[in-house]
Structure formats: C-alpha cells, structure tokens
A and B are shown apart, each in its own frame.
Chain A
Amino acid sequence: MAVSEAVVPVRRRTASLWADALFRLTRNKASVFGGSLVILLVLTAVFAAQLSPYSYSDQDREQTDAVPSWMTALFPTIKPYAKLSGQFPLGADYVGRDLLSRLIYGAQISLSVALAGPLIALFVGTVYGLISGFFSGRVDNLMMRLVDIMYAFPTMLLIILMMAFFRSAFSESEPGTFAYLMNAIDRRFGGMLFIFVGIGITAWMGTARLARGQVLSLREQEFTLAARAMGAGNGRIIFRHLLPNVLGPLVITVTLAIPGYIATEAFLSFIGLGVNPPTPSWGSMIADGAQAIRTYPHQAILPALALSITMFAFNFLGDGLRDALDPRLRGTQ
C-alpha cells in the first residue's frame, strides 16, 4: 500500500513514543481509512438496537426468503424463485427474520471478539511472559516448556475440541456447579463466553514468548540496575520499568492478530460451534445462506461482504499501527 513518508519536524523529537506513533498513524492514508471503517463498525455495533429496523430474532412466517425488488436486479439468478416484498430493506432469511437487522447485530459479535481476543492475549500473555522472563532460571524453564507444549498444539483443532466439549459437557451439568454457572453466563451472552475462552486459551502463547524475550534482554540493561539501586522491588521494576518498554511490540502483535480472531469466530459459528441461535453471527449467517446459494445468494454474500470489510479494516489499521510504532518492521509479515 502507498505510505506517504512522514516529514518529522524537529519539535516532534520531544514527543513520547505513543504521541509520535499517533502522528505517524494519522499520516498514513490506508490506516486512517481502516481506522475510520473500524470506528464506523464500532458505532454500528454499539447502536445496533437503534439502527436495526426489526428485531434480529422475530420470525415472520409470511415473509420467508422474501426479497425487495431491486435485489433481483443485483442478483438476476434470484428472479425465478423470488417472493417480492418491500417489507424488509435487504429481504428476510429462511425463517423470515430481517437480514439487515441480523447483519447489524452480527457486527456486535465480530467486534466483541476483535476486542476480547487482543485483551486476553495482551493481559495473560504479558503477565506470563514478564514473570517468566524476569525470574528466569528454573521458573522460566518450567513456564516456557508449558508454552512450548501448548504452542505445538494445532491451534484450530484445540479450539474445536474445546468448543465441542464446552457445548456438550457443560450444557448438561447440574445446577450449582461451576460448569452450570459458566453455561448460564454463556447462554445469557448468546454463546460468546465459550468463544472467548476457546480463543483465549490459544491466543496468549505468542505474546507470552514475545514479552519474555523482550524482558530477558531488557533486564540486563542499566536502567533496570538503576531502578534496583534506588530500592525498587520486583513488582515495581516489572510493571513500572519493563512493561512500558515491551508494550510497543506486543500491541503490534495483538493488533495484527485481530483479523485472525474475527475469522476464527466466523469459522466456529459457520461449523455450528460458535454462537447459539438465534444470536446472529456473520459466520452462521453465511452457513445458513450457503445452503440456498443457488436460489438466494444474497443471504450468504451480504454477510460474507460484511465479514471481509471488517477484516479488511482491521488489517489496514494493524499494518498502519505496526509501521507507526516500529518503522523498521515496515513491509514485513
């Protein structure tokens, strides 16, 4: 993508890393575009209830697979099967639910994964990596062997296994147990809790390794020694002195991983292990629509577009953030 070289004026030299990064980010057209799209999506998700004309779960038996007439012009193959009705702006799905409302609510699911995935990866991974790297020696060895084993796991298979397990073992648990509580919370949020857990279990290893590697080199540097000489304890050194220095590369890594989390959720919902119906996820909408791709292609193609645009936006934003925070990495990965 075209990146305009930022002409850095002399006065910017005093700016902090983050202010400087923000300056560079706003000079990058691609990432501004991605960022604006992300803001738009966030607004859509937050105001889903106000924006959507209908409820995402109400079924209208009279209107199953109905399409507005302009849709037949866009997808000419619909014509022979079309039940024309102007009631729903983008038509209805196979049980007569408004497609537009489901698309709007679908943004909530994708964006909450885009928010939760990085947060879990950042929080768990960083704390784990910092502790492991800081104490080094036997603690480090033990903690890193665990990461190695987890890392060797085929991630997607582990998530599928976890989800299949949660979705069955936890759903039939006795009231009062931990499993029952988890399942109740999961149900309350349309199946999102277990998706977070599944993604979270596999997301933190990369950041843990990265944080540890950074800390291993940083803890030997003079400023750590200086902090210790001034009487700072382990906790203070880790969180006040080491953490700010490792945060940059970590933020880059988790931001670049966001499209992956979104794709994972869509995949899980597509294969039926993600959100619980009737919660609308773009993945499950594609799965439903793909069944009728010959007759009503828009039911799969519209959520596919929404999903791709969202991943597009986060890819642009992530690339821009990487270039802004660490210009040396430009063009890698």
Chain B
Amino acid sequence: MGRYVIRRLLWMLLVLFVISLITFAMEHAVPGGPFDREKKLPAEIIANLEERYHLDEPYWKQYALYLYDVLVPRITTEKPLSMMDETMVNIKLGGKYYLRWMNFGPSYSSRSRTVNDIIREQLPVSLQLGLLSMAVALAIGLPMGILAALKQNTIWDYLGMGVAIFGVSVPVVAMGPVLVWIFGVALKWLPPTGWGARPPYLFFFVPRDLFTWNFWRYALMPAFAVGTGFSAIIARLTRASLLQVIHEDYIRTARAKGLSERVVTTRHALRNALIPVVTILGPMFAAVLTGLFVVEQVFGIPGLGRYFITSITNRDYPVIMGTILLYAIFLVIANVLVDITYAWLDPRIRYE
C-alpha cells in the first residue's frame, strides 16, 4: 500500500508539472502583453511594471519563478503589505515569520485586484455550491440505483432508469435556464438569481447562515441543476454494480445461512457493490466544476466559475490560467485520493 501511494503521489507531481508547463506556454504564446491598454502607457512605466513582474527575464526563468511562486510554500520575515499582498495563502506563523504560498500573479483587466484576491473572494461561493451539488448527486443517485437493482425488472427499475436516461440527456446548459423559468419566474417559489451566503465564512467557506432558509432558497435550484445530471450516472453505475454483486456465490451463501434479506443486502451486497461507485467520484468532481461554470452564469451567483467566464470574454489570461491551474490542482489531487481510497477498499487494485 505504501509503495502504491508513493507511486501515485509522484505521478501526480509529474502531471501537475506538465499542466503548469502547458498553461505557462500558452499564456506566453498569446500575442499582446499584460499591460496593453486602450491608452498606451509610457514606455518607462511598462518597463517598471515588467521588471516588477519579472517579465523582462528569459522565458525559462519566468517559468521557474512562476512555478516557484505557485507551488513552493515559503517562510519569510517580510511583512505582508496590503497592496502588494499577492499570495493566496498568507498565515502569520508567530513572531516575525509568515507562511506565503501560491501566487498567481496580476490580473490584466482588474487593476486593483490580483488573481489571488479574485480567487479568495469568489472561490468560497463556488466551493459551497460544488459541495452541495455533489451531495444532491449522491442523495438522489445512490437510493435510485439501489432501488432499481433490488427491484430489477419491476416498475421501480424501469421508472428509475427512465428518469436516469432523462438525467443524462439534459445537460446543465439546458437544465439551468429551464429551472430558473419554472421555479423562479413562473411559479415564483425561489429567487431566480443571487446567492444567500455573505462573507466572512467559517473555515474559509462554510456560510454562517447554513441552517437558514435564506441560504437554501438561493442554493436549492443551482445545486439541483448541477447535481441531477450526475445523479443519473451514479444511479446507473450503482444499479449495474449491485446487480453484478447480487449474483455472486457469497450472497447465495449468506442467504443459505438463513440471514435476513435486509442483512444480506446491506452488510454483504451493498458494501462490495459501492466500491466501484468510488471510482466515479473523480469524474464527478470534474463534471461538477464544469457545471459550476454554467450554473453560476445562469443563476447570477458570484462564484469563481462566473468570473472565469467573464475573464474569457475579457481575454484576462492570468485569471484564466490561474483558475485552470488551481482547478487542475484540485482535480488531480482529488483523482489521486480517489485512486488511493479505491485501492484501500479493494486490495486487488494495488498489485496490478
């Protein structure tokens, strides 16, 4: 197990390295400098800015600095200045020491805010919505798949799988606006746009009013819009996996021992049937992220996804690259964690 984990972690570092290389190369292959404005800046100012952001260095050095800025945590005694505070993670360690980590650089279109300021403001909202969407996907998908498998070839099975094929066929792009119209505009049950939670958050992202209607009335629709599509995939996978397990010999043995049907399903069948479902969590994180880009736009939620779309329109490359790199780090780490969990649950995987 230890060797497997180390191998996966090294693999993860390699992938992140390649992603950062591609990201950096593309950012610099794009014509136009970061400080091109409608009104041209004086040459001296541009020179100063370029020196400030190390843009006058050779590419390999810029890349090394960029990588260093993003990936390597450093402990310094420099006091963080509010305007120059460019790091994502900025913790006072005690005494005169500060921990600084992850600097994604300046934003081209927003002069007063760096990429890190933007991420710090917008990411918590996306995190809240993303976690809720995953909860919705699991809360609908698992019971639906289990029910369909246990009652195979009954009305429950057909109904569940019918709903599932509907779920995989309606993409978030279509689901979002339809939900807004039905529940937000026509029925007026929920506010069509906006977000209930306001900073400051507990632990960086937990809203203080998590248990109030004010939070949920904004969160319900977008979480369902992202979650339902993936719940269908979970339901189908759970059903297939459970059907396979139910016909195994050890289930027959358990029944032959005289165990009740409930114990056989929950203790013996479900436990093994849910192992393959863990593998779907990796793709689920990615799908939820993609869903967030759309849903935040449709529901007017001030998350990172929405800002990301805006920055694509504005061609604000540091924000695009910073967001992609940050999300890539999330996803790659999540995938490795899923792999490790899977190997831990199913020891056969480790020796492949």
Contacts and interface: CB of A to CB of B under 8 A. Distances in A.
Nearest to A314: B169
A164 B177 contact: no
A168 interface: yes
Nearest to B329: A154
B312 A271 contact: yes
B30 A165 contact: yes
Nearest to A166: B26
A300 to B, nearest CB: 4
B318 interface: no
Interface string A133-153: 000000000000000110011
A162 B127 CA distance: 25
A152 B31 contact: no
Given A1-B165, A2-B158, A152 B11 contact: yes
A308 B332 contact: no
Interface stretch (A38-46, A49-57, A262-270): A262-270
B315 A153 contact: no
Contact of A156 (B185, B290, B317): B290
Interface residues of B, number: 60
Contacts of B239: 331
Interface stretch (A15-23, A111-119, A241-249, A286-294): A286-294
B122 interface: no
The dominant DSSP class at the A interface is: helix
B332 A152 contact: yes
B237 A333 contact: yes
Interface in A290-333: 290, 293-294, 297, 300-301, 303-305, 307-308, 311-312, 315-316, 319, 331-333
A316 B23 CA distance: 38
Nearest to A303: B174
B287 to A, nearest CB: 8
A224 interface: no
B313 A272 contact: yes
A204 B158 CA distance: 33
B324 interface: yes
Interface string B307-350: 00100110101001100100110011001000000000000000
A161 B309 CA distance: 12
A307 B171 CA distance: 8
Interface in A250-269: 259, 263, 266-267
Given A157-B289, A331-B240, 16 more contacts: A76-B186, A77-B186, A148-B11, A153-B19, A157-B327, A161-B23, A165-B30, A267-B172, A271-B312, A300-B177, A300-B178, A301-B177, A301-B178, A304-B173, A312-B166, A312-B169
Interface of B: 11-12, 14-15, 18-19, 22-23, 26, 29-32, 158, 161-162, 165-166, 168-178, 180-181, 184-186, 192, 236-237, 239-240, 243, 286, 289-290, 293-294, 297-298, 309, 312-313, 315, 317, 320-321, 324, 327-328, 331-332, 335
Q: Lowest 10 A-B CB distances belong to which pairs?
A: A304-B174, A300-B177, A312-B169, A263-B171, A332-B240, A154-B331, A297-B181, A311-B169, A152-B15, A165-B26
